[in-house]
Amino acid sequence: GGETHIENVAFSFEGPFGTYDQHQLQRGFQVFNEVCAACHGLKYVAFRDLTSATGPAFPEEQAKAFAANYEVFDPELDDTRPARLSDKFPPNTAAGAPDLSLMAKARAGFHGPFGLGLNQLFNGTGGPEYIYSLLTGYTGEEVEQAGTVLYENTAFPGGLISMVPPLSEGLIEYEAHSMGEGDGHGGGGHYSSPEATVEQMSKDVSAFLMWAAEPKMVERKEAGLRNVLMLIVLAVLLYYTNRKLWAPVK
């Protein structure tokens, strides 16, 4: 039991102007696809979402190829078939692992102080930080309780988690993915993949899961900014209208 430790990661999508880093989302998807998907579902995310221009922006052909590696249940066939772009990731309950679609918003990394919530107001709820800290928080100690092996983890409440440490140094090899339409980064070319350290993979998959939980974040921020600007213009116009209207009375 006792205190848990949450690392504050500087993600590109923080703050009022923050956006998702498409290379990072593509790497994060690769981690999810090659590691986490063995046990975890992502049942609210559709394969087509992977082509989103404000998300990972995978080219459609690539998203199709990813989809085809997943089996989904088709009620019309009464059987499973390879997934298409219009399908969602299948649920995965085999290992008793929770679905990760909304995990970045379901867990809070930051709390307090004194129950005031100020930390969350300034730093965000810390969902992706919690996932990052969980993945990097294994101490290497394990204990057996009632026939189950539990792993000591400095981020998990209670300190003992049943998830086997999923990441290890160099577990995957990052691909240099090509970018889809409207990525705003000028396409492939000079993008070189980073080393797949545990920290790097943890950061990338946490960013990917934040996008999965809030795929319209960039659009929401843009709409908010537009609305605030419009309200400022409106306030100025109202100020002068008001002065003009009341001028004869003064």
Virtual torsion, Cα 186, 188, 194, 199, nearest 10 deg: 60
Q: In the complex, what is the shortest distance from the CB of residue 71 to ligand HEM, in angstroms, rounded to a whole number?
A: 18
Nearest C-alpha neighbor of 134 from the set 170, 114, 113, 106: 106
Enumerate residues 7-46 that contact ligand HEM by CB under 6 A: 31, 35-36, 38-40
The pattern of x and - marking residues 116 through 135 that bind ligand HEM according to CB under 6 A reads ---------------x--xx
What is the rounded distance in angstroms from the CA atom of residue 9 to the CA atom of residue 2? 22
Q: Find all residues with CB under 8 Å of 62, minimum gap 6, and list them.
A: 50, 177, 178, 180
Assigned token pair, 94: 């085999």
Q: Which is nearer to ligand HEM, 83 or 102 (CB)?
A: 102
Residue spans of alpha helices (H) in the chain: 22-34, 60-68, 103-106, 118-123, 127-136, 198-213, 217-246
Name which of residues 43 to 102 contact ligand HEM (CB under 6 A). Answer: 95-98
Q: Is 103 near ligand HEM (CB under 6 A)?
A: yes
Kindly state whether residue 210 participates in binding ligand HEM, applying the rule CB under 6 A.
no
Q: Does 212 interact with ligand HEM (rule: CB under 6 A)?
A: no
Among positions 121, 143, 164, 176, the unique one binding ligand HEM when judged by CB under 6 A: 164
Q: Which residues bind ligand HEM (CB under 6 A)?
A: 31, 35-36, 38-40, 95-98, 103, 107, 131, 134-135, 161-164, 166-167, 205
